[in-house]
Amino acid sequence: MAYWRSYRRLSSQVNAFAAAESSDDENILENDFVLEPHSGQPHNEQPQQNELAESALNCSSSNSSDGFHCGDESFITPVGVSDSDNETDEDVPLLSTSELTLRQELNSWATKNACQHGVLNELLDILRKQGHDLPKDARTLLETPRSVPVMSKCGGEYLYFGIEAGVLKNLSKYSKITDQIASIDLLINVDGLPLFKSSSQQFWPILGQFNNLDVFVIALFYGPSKPSSVDEYLHDFLEELDKLQSNGISYKEQKLPVHLKCFCCDAPARCFLKCIIGHTGYFACERCIIKGMWNGRVVFNSVSNFASRTDVQFDNCQYEDHQKAPTPLIGHGVSCVQQFCLDYMHLVCLGVTKRILFFLRKGPRICKLSSQQITQISSRLVLLKGAMPSEFARQPRSLLEVERWKATEFRQFLLYTGPIVLRGIVSNEVYEHFLSLSVAISILLETNCERRNAYLDYARKLLEFFVRNCQHVYGDTFTVYNVHSLLHLADDVRHFNCSLNEISCFPFENYMQQLKKHVRSGKSPIVQVAKRVAEISSSCPKITSKRNFSKIGTVSENFKDCCFLIEDKFAFVKEKRDDGKMVCTVFSESQVESFYCRPADSKLFKVVSVRRIEERGKRRLVEESELHRKAVCLPINTGYVIFPLHHEVERKF
């Protein structure tokens, strides 16, 4: 039944736009020929088209078990920081609906809606019976590759896509902004991705990203465990990287230099690539020479300043307690200390923030909250449901479900909801300790370079305060590898001179989930992914009528999407006029109050509380260009609390 419901829904959509464009489409097909992939013959030569459709690929169109899932906007929209400094959909090459043929529009529609080949074949058959000159097989329409050159390597299957191919694809997709790109600064991610609950089979992709554009696949490994040899696994990648760093990439009669900015991975992947001990070892810290101690597990409770690790000593394998073997990265000039950032998604969100909540729920007596306190916090979180702006993919959930929270929910708690729901329930000591982490991470996420650098040293001191007092607040077993590594987080922001948003695993994790959706059966998953990625690359650009996202996010009269920062003022959109201007209620800093005073005045970080919005604010006309940044406005007993939006957009529009 689910199959037929999906079929009828898709059929109605296709028939609707097919009927609307049938007359235009007939004129186009009478005068133009469309070449079939790999055929070199006009599209209207039906006998040869049928032969191609029947012989192409090794999968059966009737059993579309490797039907593709590619409807996520992460393949179309740049993944990056969601404030005024970031590129947006305005930079995407767009076509109007009238500029697309029926075949092109059907290709784009099928790709966006993740149609299975079997369903699409039936739709094509219906449209062909109605007189439309279309391919008989979905694989011809979607330009699915005939074969995929998979090789056996590292104890599994391996496929190399290439760095240059992914870079050129992004440059051509966002051609309007390529003039602004002076160099290709690569971020590289490696991670494991389990595919099936009943099997140990997993992907280990090498992913790339540059200049906050789309993530792309460089290489893909599929096997029962991680690659057996890091040398073989990285060989193709490092060889091409050396070539590109020497010669650059040619694009539109210009030579773009290529630089490796950093590897952005979680701790297990960093250990695998750098050939060092795991994050549970005594000498696990990747930035300083500190030895942990055993207290049920390895903890780092020492507060002394330890010598920093250097690339020279690492390259000479002088850290015998830290390095297990020489890594192939050394021979290719990769800095294994400075060019491996500490990813805050795993370190802070899934690491420290999650650990705080688990200790408050089920930790030692020194910090454990009562069931009544947990219920109060959960009730406050549930009351905030629906108040988060549209840029958030998830609304707050109860602490009773914290085991199922995602990384974005822990980030949401740390930056926005936590300071509200913990206030007045936990002790002042615990609350101020939590705020020190929240404020420090907010500073490190600041996208304004001048403002971030002005408070960078203060953020470092806040993190030092947090780590040094963890033992006193949460007990002797709290300060594990993730907590200790907070001491080195500000060094990455200074070294790379960018926000933590620009060196995080969030875009890579989002893309990996899409890779997983491409796998519809256990038969040759690596081939399925390769074909789906190729189909997405060949699909048409977005339609202009679908674009509804601006640089500062969703602007609406709806209360959750109406709050913005205007330089040193706070504006609430009340009415959007036809001339593009907006009627806003505007508050100056003198009309708002500090939400907290320790560890610092919250007004310094644009976190304020507002009472009686309608009565105290002043009405004025505001241009959309004046809106500097989206803000999160959450209700409290005495009014509202405003937090600047610090993270990248979670939901794609």
Span 20-66, pLDDT tens digits: 444 443 333 333 323 233 333 333 333 333 333 333 333 333 333 34
pLDDT of residue 401: 95
| Residues whose CB is less than 8 angstroms from the CB of residue 256 and which lie 6 or more positions away in sequence, other chains included | 181, 182, 183, 184, 248, 249, 250
DSSP 209: E
Tokens 């060196």 belong to which residue? 503
pLDDT of residue 237: 97
pLDDT value at residue 71? 35
pLDDT value at position 650?
Answer: 63
**What is the C-alpha separation between 241 and 186, in angstroms, rounded?**
10
632, 645 contact by CB (below 8 A)? yes
Q: Which residues contact 560 (CB under 8 A, 6 or more apart)?
A: 386, 387, 388, 389, 390, 633
Angle between helices 2-20 and 102-112 (to 10 degrees): 150
Q: Which amino acid is at 269?
A: A
For residue 338, what are its two tokens? 């400075």
More confident residue, 486 or 129: 486
Does 312 score more than 50 pLDDT? yes
Looking at residue 27, what is its pLDDT?
A: 38
Q: What's the whole-number mean pLDDT along residues 338-358?
A: 97
Give me the phi and psi of 110, to 5 degrees please. Answer: -65, -40
394 and 416 Cβ atoms separated by less than 8 Å: no
562-591 pLDDT, tens per residue? 999 998 899 999 999 888 889 999 998 888
pLDDT of 16 higher than 90: no
Residue 633 banded pLDDT, cuts 50, 70, 90: very high
**Cis peptide preceding 599, ω within 30 of 0:** yes
| Dihedral (CA of 163, 166, 168, 171) sign | negative
- Contacts (Cβ under 8 Å, ≥6 apart) of 405: 354, 397, 413
pLDDT in tens, 175-232: 777 778 889 999 999 999 999 988 999 999 999 999 889 999 999 999 999 999 999 9
Of 190, 238, 189, the residue nearest 210 (C-alpha): 189
Contact between 516 and 360 (Cβ < 8 Å): no
Report the distance separating Cα 212 and Cα 81, nearest Å.
8
CA distances, 517 to each of 114, 255, 469 (Å)? 10, 36, 43
Phi, psi of 76 (to 5 degrees): -115, -40
**Taking residues 532-536, what's their average pLDDT?**
89
- Which is it for the CA torsion 403, 409, 411, 417, positive or negative? negative
Confidence grade of residue 540 (pLDDT, cut at 50, 70, 90) = low
Strand positions, DSSP E, 212-317: 216-223, 249-251, 254-256, 258-265, 293-294, 298-299
Distance between the two ends of the chain, CA-based, in angstroms? 30
pLDDT value of position 55: 36
Spatial CA neighbour of 217 closest among 204, 200, 232, 199: 204
368, pLDDT greater than 80: yes
Q: Which residue has the higher pLDDT, 32 or 459?
A: 459
**Which position has the token pair 């420290």?**
352
